[in-house]
Amino acid sequence: MTTTKKTLLAAAVLAALAAGPANALKINPNGAGGGVIDIAGLDWNVGNLLSTPISNPANAGITQGLFVDAYGFNVPIKATNSVTALEFGSVIQAYTQASLSTFNLSNGGSGLGELGAAGEWTFVMGFAEQVIDFAAGALTETATFGAIKGGVNYFKIYYSPVADSENLLGTNFENGTLVLSGTVNPYGGIGADGTSSFSAQGTFPGSQTQPTTIKNLDDYPLGDNDYTKIRTITGGGDGSLLVNIDTINSAFILEDITQLNISFTTQQRLNFNTADPSSCMWNGSAFVTAAGNGYACGSAGDTGTIGAVNGLKSGSYAWLNGGATYTAAPNELLQVDASSSIPSNPVPEPMSVALMGIGLVGLGFVRRSRKS
């Protein structure tokens, strides 16, 4: 189905994020004058994230590994052809997008103001990251990532007078009037913003029966599977990122925010149970195929760029394809969940946005109560 599906996120996440009281920020939701509201944050609808390998890092402007400790150690840059074949030093590109659920008001309430149900705010983001730690067990693999320079790097918020973004298609998150733009900062060292981790749980070569951790990719809404040929592994992760703001549109942002920090939390989960998996994803300049299946990208009945089992490693599985060798797809698609708050404490770097909780290749189990 192609109707927009939105889920309100729990406001409690915002309270958990901010170290101090939130600072009100005056905005005009539709940029048309009048209808000014004071907000303490933004709550985004559940969206999608596509993780794709960088097979030629040098061509993506990535020529140096991360500085990871006080001894000046640099992680070596390594190419990879699949996000399921990661190793220490592997680099990946991530793309994510979502629409706004509600503004969290400074008085403790929530609402969309004059944005109303007709219009919307959306965000799109892209950045590169590198594996800086990796541990594999019998049925679980855990990786730690750090954001790095290079790759396709952007963060943009848009306003559209028509609420036309659609998770199933993966389209119309990138259109409208630009409200704010910036870029993701590279990882700054141990304990700094810019890191994430995840533990992937599923199955590895040698499994005789399909594990319970293998599920249908799409279970939203319950019983409505738009991708009947795609299953997925499961897992969980979180982390933090920092984004420097380059521009703001004063028709929408009515106060100087050069000394404010905007925090995001992002939680991931597979299978998709609160949003549709996206057929396409925006990569900063064009649409690329994600889950495909012909909804907006790919061909009807195909498995896009994520394969028959999203996140599954290459190998032979008795429960899959009659035991024939399965070749992993290059990409992995994740359900992501974001919110943002505006702390009152200024930050040293002007116009910065902190993005919290992105375990980008990981798959999130963390459940939160939601209001529909």
**For residue 187, is it within any domain?**
yes
Give the pLDDT of residue 150.
92
**For residue 363, is it within any domain?**
no
**For residue 284, is it within any domain?**
yes
Give the pLDDT of residue 34.
78
For 82, counting Cβ atoms within 10 Å of its Cβ (0-12 exposed, 13-18 middle, 19+ buried), the class is: buried
Q: Which domain holds residue 299?
A: 12-356
**For residue 265, is it within any domain?**
yes
Question: What phi, psi does 263 have (nearest 5°)?
Answer: -100, 140
**For residue 55, is it within any domain?**
yes
Record the tokens describing residue 53, joined without a space. 């390998």
DSSP string, 204-226: -TT--S--TT-EESB-SSTT--S
**For residue 367, is it within any domain?**
no
Per-residue pLDDT of the chain (372 residues; tens, 9 = 90+): 333 222 222 222 222 223 334 578 899 999 997 799 999 888 999 999 999 999 999 999 998 888 655 455 678 899 989 998 888 899 999 999 999 999 999 999 999 999 988 999 999 999 999 998 888 877 788 888 999 999 999 999 999 999 999 999 999 999 999 999 988 888 876 556 788 888 888 666 555 677 888 899 999 998 899 999 999 988 877 777 777 888 999 999 998 764 344 555 556 678 899 999 999 999 999 999 999 999 999 999 999 999 999 999 888 888 888 888 899 999 999 998 887 776 554 343 433 344 433 434 433 222 222 333
**For residue 371, is it within any domain?**
no
What total of structural domains would you count in the chain? 1
Q: Tell me the C-alpha distance between 50 and 45, whole Å.
A: 16
Give the pLDDT of residue 37.
95
Residue type, 232: T
Does residue 155 contact residue 181 with C-beta atoms inside 8 Å?
yes
Does residue 348 contact residue 256 with C-beta atoms inside 8 Å?
no
Give the pLDDT of residue 143.
87
**For residue 176, is it within any domain?**
yes
Does residue 279 contact residue 304 with C-beta atoms inside 8 Å?
yes
